[in-house]
Structures are given as structure tokens and as C-alpha cells.
Amino acid sequence: MTKSPFPLPEEFNAASYFVDRHIAEGRGDKVAIECGDRRVSYRELFEQVNRVGHAFKKAGVRIEERVFLLLLDTPEFAVCFFGAIKIGAVPVPVNTLLKPADYEFLLNNSRARVAVVSEFLLPQLQAIPSQNLRYLEKIVVAEGAERGPESGADGSGERTTESFAAWTRDSSSTLDAAPTGKDDAAFWLYSSGSTGRPKACVHLQHDMVVCAERYAKAILDITENDRFFSVAKLFFAYGLGNGLYFPLAVGATSILLPAPPKPQTVFDTVKRFRPTLFFSVPSNYSKLLAHPPDAIHASDFSSVRHAISAGECLPASIFHRFKERFGVEILDAIGSTEALHMFISNRPGGVKPGSSGTIIPGFEARIVDENSQSVTPGEMGDLIVMTDAACACYWNQHEKTKDTIAGDWLRTGDRYYQDADGYFWYGGRSDDMLKVSGAWVSPVEIENQLLEHPEVLEAAVVGRKDEDGLVKTVACVVLRDGKPGNPEVASELQRFVLARLPLFKRPHRVEFFSELPKTATGKLQRYKLR
């Protein structure tokens, strides 16, 4: 494993690093978080983290015990996340867009006895039959009306529900951090796979420091003068860095948006709060660009020095259109929940549109064949990476851990090739590659060409068997402005691709959709289109 250039002491608590030290360094009065009309200073953040830590202790939460966080992007997320870490407990932030059955699985899988939930999301937990939850004993409701403990308030005979304000009211604002080690478990994040049950990635106390140092500081050159705004939400590994521990790593300000990131809401937030760093995903960049210019009274990105994209490959067409319209380059990159954040990224002033960039210094990457042997430059293979921010394991998933983590190397499940300049080019997921006419076809390659067509808003390519059982490519397309498709448009798109790619890569069929199926974090669910 590559050794860290910033060695940490054996005894290390991430809450002390990201929260406590700012008081000693004189940033107590500086704004740490802005959320609507709320402004939270570093001193207020510090004191509230301590109060929450005491409240967890009073609830009987012990070291290494999980606490369930079903929270919107608000200051309560920050104080509960670091309040748990400070006492040595393990916060488990979860996706806020799921259904009760999903939360039932996650609560039982994490074995959390205490859950903190935004009032808006409380009905999702209340809809779960109490007898189905084996471990949950207490629900704390953030942003709700202040009230005292109410036995069985959630429909359970034993479980209690309490408001966040009442829960923390009498707690002390001072708290010593638990003497955790840098390799102790700090938090879990559930991977957002498009099929099957999610897996809990167990991340360690040092992981956030690694990502902040190697990516946020070294690549984005973040400082305490920066203002961070992430469209990707905090429960997402990408958003957790962008909107929480990156700004806290340097004493900067995070701008939180609890509401859904609709285009006009994003534009309004940028106008009001003037972020210097803007983080989003390709589908959201596409939606921003699809918003008619005359409908945007102030789509001014002049405060933004870097726009960043991750989650899926950013098509070159979106890069060029965004730069032309807003004057800002998008720095595409790739990371994963298992790796916590980025490991390959484009650099400011050195972007190759359509590529994921180059390896971030301090990490390593290889492209290998089915025998784990390195392929030659330009040849497609499976991407594996070495990063000391990788999760320790999947919770309670020994075999899946071995399938993904092999010694120091993390299997990403992505197909890539590397050009002569060291840039990495995405070729789809390992299980999304298609064998057509005896040749491997990357769905992403065809999708990128379709997205160059002026009438195409979104595109996904999948393989379906014909009457002879042979795999044929099918292009699933969403047209701009809600236009319906027809055979003439389908033929035009096939000709458009054929002019740019070999014949065997031309979509055999084109189908039109009003929208494409995606996970809650915006990733395409190809299996639903197959």
C-alpha cells in the first residue's frame, strides 16, 4: 500500500480533526455551514457536536455501535455524523429517497438501536411494522416540534420518539473525544448497486483525511476562503466529501440544500450563496443545460472557479456546452463508495473532455485482463486501484469482500483503457459490456455518440437477444423538450451513429422513453431496460 505523506498518530479521532481543531486555530466565529436562512459558526458546530455526543451516550450508545442517520442535508446531519464519531460510535447515513421496505432492511442490517430522522422522512419509518425491526429502540426527530419522550409514539410498544431539541437540550457543550485509533471504524456508507441488496462499506477514521489531502487539497487547491455547494447529497459518498468533510478540512464554508436539486433551485442557490466550488453529476449538468436560457433570470456561475462531476462518465458534449454557456470547465473524475471519493481525476487546465482524467498522486491504478495481468496501453480491461481510503470490508459480507478487495487492490467493476498520455477512458461496467458480431461493444461509447445529436437529452444502450438468441444493441433514448419519437427519428439516430462508429456498433433498434430508470443517486439501471 502506498504510504501516506501525512502520517497520523495511532490515536486519532476524525471529529477532533474536522471539528475541534478549528476552535484552537481561531475559527470559532467563522461560518461553517449555511443552509437557507440558518448560519452555523464553527463554535456552534463544535458545541452542538458535543451535545449530540452526550445525548448518544445517555441513550446507551457504545463505542463501535452503529447509529442510523436518515437526514436531509441540514446542519443536523453534520452534528449527528461527527457527534457519533466523537464518542467512538459509527454513524450510518442512508439514502433519503428509499421506501419503508428498504429502511427495514438497512435498520436490521446495521443493528442500530438509535435512529435520527428528519421530520419530513419520519413517515417512512413509521410505515414499518414495529415487529419487523429487531434492534431499533429510539427515534430522534430532527426539525420537529419540541416535545418530550413519548413511549410508543411510533406505534411500537417499547420504542420511544423524541425531538432533537429536547434530546440535546440538557447536554453539556464540552466533550472529550474517545481515544479511537486511526484504523478504527468511523462510519458506514451503503453502496448503491443497481441490483441486489446494498452492501455496507466500513470506512475508517483516517479515510476522510486521505481524500481531503490527496484530492480536495492537492487537485482542487481548496482553502478556507472557498464556499462548497454539492448537488450530490450528503448520504452519497461523493456528496459527503463535497459538502461536509472537504470544507471542514480547511475551515471553509459548506452550503447545504435540503430540497431536491431541481434546475431552478440550483440556479437560485448559486445566485444567492455564490459558491466557489460546484459539485454535481452528469444528469444534473444535462438538466441545467436543458433549462432554456430565457427562463433563467440569473444563471450566473461567475463565482465558481471549479465545477466537478462524478457518479458516471461525463460526455464530452456536456463539457463543451457547459463551458460555452457558463464559462466554467467541468473536472470529471471517478471514485466509488468503496474508495470513499476520487482516485482518478481531470486537472484544472488539463482536461481531456470525455475522459476521467489521470491517477491522483498517492494512489495507483492498473487495467488488467481476466487473468489479472496488465493490458497494453489502448487496450480495454478491468480497472483496479490502490488507495489508502478504501473501505476495510463490506459489513458481514466476507465472500463479497474477497471478490472486491484483493490485498491492497480494489476492483472497481469498471472497464477502462488508458491512452498514451496516461488519461483513463471509461468503457462501461464490466457486466455491461456487450459481445456483438464477435466483438466487444461498450454501451457508453455508443451512448456518447447519441448524446452528440442535438435532439437527444439522454441515452442508454443495452443488449437484447433476437429470435436467434444473438445479442443485438438497443438504444433507449429520451428526446429533448419531451418530443415523441418516431421511425424517422430512429433511422436518423442510427445513421448518425453509423457515421461515427463501425457498423457492428450501430444500434440495431432505437426505442423512445419519457425518462430512463435510475437509482436514487442518479445511476442508470440498465437491467430494467434489458
Q: Give per-residue pLDDT as tens, 148-178.
A: 344 344 444 457 899 999 999 999 999 999 9
Per-residue confidence band for 389, with pLDDT thresholds at 50, 70 and 90: very high
Name residue 185's beta-bridge partners: 204
SS3 track for 156-171: CCCCEEEEHHHHHCCC
**Cβ 377 vs Cβ 429: under 8 Å:** no
**Cβ 237 vs Cβ 243: under 8 Å:** no
The pairing of strands 409-418 and 90-93 is: unpaired
Give the pLDDT mean for 415-419: 95
Contacts of 433 (CB under 8 A, 6+ apart): 415, 427, 440, 441, 442, 443
Mean pLDDT of the chain: 91
Q: Which fold has domain 200-429?
A: Rossmann fold (3.40.50)
Radius of gyration of the chain (CA): 23
Give the pLDDT mean for 23-51: 97
Q: Domain 16-180 has what CATH class?
A: alpha beta
Distance between CA atoms of 193 and 187, rounded to whole angstroms?
Answer: 19
Per-residue confidence band for 429, with pLDDT thresholds at 50, 70 and 90: confident
Distance between CA atoms of 279 and 307, rounded to whole angstroms?
Answer: 6
- Please choose, from the candidates 24, 41, 390, the residue with its C-alpha nearest in 3D space to the C-alpha of residue 177: 24
Contacts of 242 (CB under 8 A, 6+ apart): 228, 230, 232, 277, 279, 308
Task: Give the containing element (helix H, strand E) for 389.
Answer: none
- Please choose, from the candidates 243, 271, 247, the residue with its C-alpha nearest in 3D space to the C-alpha of residue 257: 243
Establish whether domains 16-180 and 200-429 are of one fold. yes
**Cβ 409 vs Cβ 219: under 8 Å:** no
Is pLDDT at 65 greater than 60 in this prediction? yes
Is pLDDT at 421 greater than 80 in this prediction? yes
b/e burial code for range 66-93 (CB count within 10 A of at least 16 → b): bbbbbbbbbbbbbbbbbbbbbbbbbbbb
Per-residue confidence band for 91, with pLDDT thresholds at 50, 70 and 90: very high
Distance between CA atoms of 310 and 308, rounded to whole angstroms?
Answer: 7
Residue 244 C-alpha cell reads as 461536509
Give the pLDDT mean for 362-386: 94
DSSP type of residue 84: H
* Residue 6: predicted pLDDT: 65
φ, ψ (nearest 5 deg) of residue 115: -125, 135
Per-residue confidence band for 524, with pLDDT thresholds at 50, 70 and 90: confident
pTM of the shown model: 0.85
pLDDT digits (tens, 9 = 90+) for 509-521: 999 999 999 887 6
Burial (CB count <10 Å: 0-12, 13-18, 19+), residue 182: buried
Residue 174 to residues 15, 43, 52, Cα–Cα distance (Å): 13, 11, 10
Where does 276-351 have alpha helices with state H? 282-290, 316-326
- Please choose, from the candidates 269, 249, 248, 267, the residue with its C-alpha nearest in 3D space to the C-alpha of residue 257: 269
Per-residue confidence band for 260, with pLDDT thresholds at 50, 70 and 90: very high
Fill in the amino acid letter for 218.
A
* Residue 213: predicted pLDDT: 97
* Residue 298: predicted pLDDT: 53
Give the pLDDT mean for 82-90: 98
Contacts of 407 (CB under 8 A, 6+ apart): none
Is pLDDT at 437 greater than 70 in this prediction? no
Residue 52 C-alpha cell reads as 449530540
Is pLDDT at 468 greater than 70 in this prediction? no
- Please choose, from the candidates 228, 283, 259, the residue with its C-alpha nearest in 3D space to the C-alpha of residue 97: 259
**Cβ 404 vs Cβ 291: under 8 Å:** no
* Residue 502: predicted pLDDT: 75
Residue 257: HSE in the Cβ half-sphere, 13 Å Cα cutoff: 26
CATH architecture assignment, domain 434-529? 2-Layer Sandwich (3.30)
Give residue limits of the domains in the chain.
16-180, 200-429, 434-529
How many residues does the structure list for the chain? 530
- Please choose, from the candidates 411, 413, 499, 487, the residue with its C-alpha nearest in 3D space to the C-alpha of residue 450: 499
Give the pLDDT mean for 362-389: 94
**Cβ 383 vs Cβ 338: under 8 Å:** no
The pairing of strands 358-359 and 381-386 is: unpaired
Q: In which order are the strands placed within the sheet that holds 185-190? A: 185-190, 200-204, 393-394
Fill in the amino acid letter for 235.
F
Is pLDDT at 145 greater than 50 in this prediction? no
